[in-house]
Structure 1
Amino acid sequence: MQTRRTVLLTLLAAAPAIALAAPSQAAAAKDLSDPHMKDIALQIVSSAENSDLAWRDYFKYIEDIGDERGYTAGIVGFCSGTGDMLELVELYTRRKPGNVLAKYLPALRNVNGSDSHKGLDPGFKGDWAKAAKDPDFQKAQEDERDRVYFNPALQQAKADGLRALGQFVYYDAIVMHGPGTDRESFGGIRKAALKKAKPPSQGGDEVKYLNAFLDARKVIMKEEDAHEDTSRVDTAQRVWLKAGNLDLNTPLKWKVYGDSYTIKS
C-alpha cells in the first residue's frame, strides 16, 4: 500500500519531467520579436529590396528608382517624397547636431510629398554615403525602421493573431506600401483583406486570411510600375503559406525576381 508520503514523493519526482516539456514547445514557435527571427525577416526583405541577404550593407544605399517617391535610401528604403527620410534626418540631427545631412533639412521639408530633388542635388547622394559610415546614423536608421515599420507591423500582426509568417507578410507590406490607411497603403490593404476573410483573432482561418491579404496586396502592386513584379509574394510568401510554414521555420528557400535564396538556420 502506498502511503501519503510515498505518493507525494512520486509526484515530486515526476514534476521536473513535466516542467521541461513546456520550454521546448515554446521554442518551436518563436515569432519576429525574437532577435534571430527578426534578422531572418530583415534578410528576406533585403532579398527583394537589394537582391542579396546582407541588409547591413545598405545603410549607404541611395537612388531614385522612378516610383515618384524621390530618392529611396538606406536599409528600409526611406524616401524623400514620403516623409520618412525627413523624419530620419531630423532624428539624426537631434542626436548629432551639425552632421553632414543636417543642412538638407529645409530641402527635405520642401520636397516632401513630391519626387523633386530640388535643393538636394548635386551633393545629397554623396553626403548620404558619408553619413552612412557613422555608427550614429546607422543606429538612427535601425531605430526609425523599427518605429515606423517593424514595430507597428508586429503589433498589428499579433493583435490579428498571426504567427511568424503572417508577421513577416505584414512587415514586408508596410515597408513597400507605407503605414498609412489609404487604399494603396498597408492599412488599406488590410482593410480590403478583412472584407474577404477574418483573421485568427476574430475566429477566422489563418491561411485563408493571409491568402486574402496577399491577394489584396497584389492588386495594389500591379497598379504601380515600380512594383508590378509580384514575385516577392508569389515565389516567396505564398510558397511558405502553401507549405503550411506559418511559423517561418528554417530552412527557408525562395525566389525573388528570378533569383534564388536560402536561409539554412
Structure 2
Amino acid sequence: MDIRRALRHTAVAFAVITLAAYHPSPAAAQPPPAGLDEPRLKEVAMELVASAENSTLDWRSQYQFIKDIGDGQGYTGGIIGFCSGTGDMLEVVDRYTRRKPVNPLAPFLPALRKVNGTASHEGLGEPFVRAWKQAAKDREFQAAQEEERDRVYFDPAVRMAKADGLRPLGQFIYFDAVVMHGNGNDRNGLRAIRATAMKKAKCSNRCGDERAYLSAFLDARRTAIKNETVHGETSRVDTEQRVFLEQGNFDLRPPLRWQTYGDWYEIKAWPVVR
C-alpha cells in the first residue's frame, strides 16, 4: 500500500490536534460492543483507513480503484490496495470467478498468476484496468474484495489484538499496520512491530499498561514506515492514531477528528451500517 497524496502541511498540526480534549457527544455516549468487528466500529475502521489510503471517508468508492502507484508491486486496486505483485489481487479475482465464472476479469487469471511476485503488467495493461472498473460495479466482485480484506487483513489483526488484551483503538492500530506492512515476519511487518513494542514496554502478551504499550507500538510503527522508502510519511500515526491514544479514546467513540497527509477528517457520530 502507498501514500496516494503528497504531504501538503507540516509543523503545528500535531501539536494543535493533541491538545484538543476528547468530549464524546451525547449521540456517541452509548458505545457498541468492544470488538472492532462490531459493524459500526468496523465501519469507523474502514473510514479511518480510507482517509489515509485514498483521501476519502467513502471507502466503498474505492472498489473501482486500480493503478500502478510505482511501489514495485504492479497494479494496486480495490478497497484495501490489493496488488498484482503480492498475490492478494489474484486471490480476489480468483474468489470472484469461483462465485461467478463468467465475469470481466476471469480472462486475466492466467496473466495474474504469471506476474505474481513481480511488478510486471504483462498480459494485463489497459484492458485489465477497464475490466477491473467494470467488475467493480458488480456486487459479487465487491463481496470478493471485502472477503479477502477480512481473511488476510482485518480478521487476523483483530484476533491478534484481542489476544493481546487491546480495546478497539488497539485493534484498529494493528489493522492499519497490517494494511500498510502486511502480517509477515519481515522487519517491517506487524509481528516485528509488535515484538519491538513488547520489548520496549517490557511485556509479553497482554501488557498491563495499554496506553504505554500502544505508545511503544506507534513508535515502532513510525520507524517501520520510515524504513519503507515507498512510504516514509507518518501522519497516519502522528496526527491520527496517536491523537486518539493521547485522548484516551480506547473505544474509538465518535466524535473523531484527525488529519492525514494534510487533510482534515471527522466522524461525528456512529455511522449507519448498510
Verify same fold: TM over 0.5. Answer: yes
Q: Which residue of 1 aligns with 2:201?
A: 197
Aligned letter for 1:241? L
Whether 1:207 aligns to 2:232 is no
How far the C-alpha of 1:185 sits from its partner, in A, is 1.6
Give the residue type in structure 2 aligned to 1:109: R
Q: Retained in 1: the 8 A contact 2:207–2:213?
A: no
How far residue 257 of structure 1 moved from its aligned partner, in angstroms, is: 0.4
Alignment partner of 1:129 out of 105, 121, 133:
133
**Which residues of structure 2 form unaligned runs of 5+?**
1-28, 270-274
Q: Which of 46, 54, 59 is residue 55 of structure 1 equivalent to?
A: 59
Q: Matches of 1:260 and 1:93 in 2, distance apart?
A: 38
State the alpha-carbon separation in 1 of the partners of residues 51 and 76 from structure 2: 16
Alignment check: 8 A CA contact 1:32 1:167 kept: yes
For residues 165-205 of structure 1, what are the alpha-carbon distances to aligned partners after superposition, in whole Å with 9 as ceiling and x for unaligned?
00000011101111212212222221222221256953431
Q: Which residue of 2 aligns with 1:19?
A: none
The answer on 1:232 being equivalent to 2:216 is no
How far apart in 1 are the matches of 2:220 and 2:244?
18
The whole-number CA distance in structure 2 between the counterparts of 1:186 and 1:203 is 17
Q: Number of paired residues?
A: 241
Partner of 1:259: 263
- Cα distance in 2 for partners of 1:97, 1:164 equals 38
SS of residue in 2 equivalent to 1:195: helix
Aligned pairs (5 A) from 1:25-44: 27=31, 30-44=34-48
- String of CA shifts for 1:111-146, please: whole Å, max 9, x gaps: 111111111113111110001011100111111111
Identity of aligned residues (%): 59
Q: What SS class does the counterpart of residue 71 from structure 2 fall into?
A: coil
Does the 8 A contact of 1:197 with 1:204 survive in 2?
A: no
Instruction: State the distance in 1 between where 2:244 and 2:31 align.
Output: 20
Output the CA distance in 2 between the equivalents of 1:115 and 1:262: 36
Deviations 1:28-58 (A, max 9, x none): 6633121011100100100001111000111
SS of the residue 2:230 aligns to: helix
Equivalent in the alignment of 1:118: 122
1:216 is matched with: 220
Q: Which amino acid aligns with 1:210?
A: L
2:161 corresponds to which of 141, 157, 160? 157
Larger relative helix fraction: 1
Aligned to 1:66: 70
TM-score (norm 1): 0.87
Q: Is 1:105 aligned with 2:109?
A: yes
CA–CA distance in 2 between the matches of 1:102 and 1:195? 46
Query: Larger relative contact order (C-alpha < 8 A, sep ≥ 6)?
Result: 2
Structure showing greater radius of gyration is 1
* 1:226 match: secondary structure: coil
Give the match for residue 147 of structure 2: 143
CA distance in 1, matches of 2:141, 2:102: 13
Indicate the RMSD between aligned Cα atoms, in angstroms: 1.7
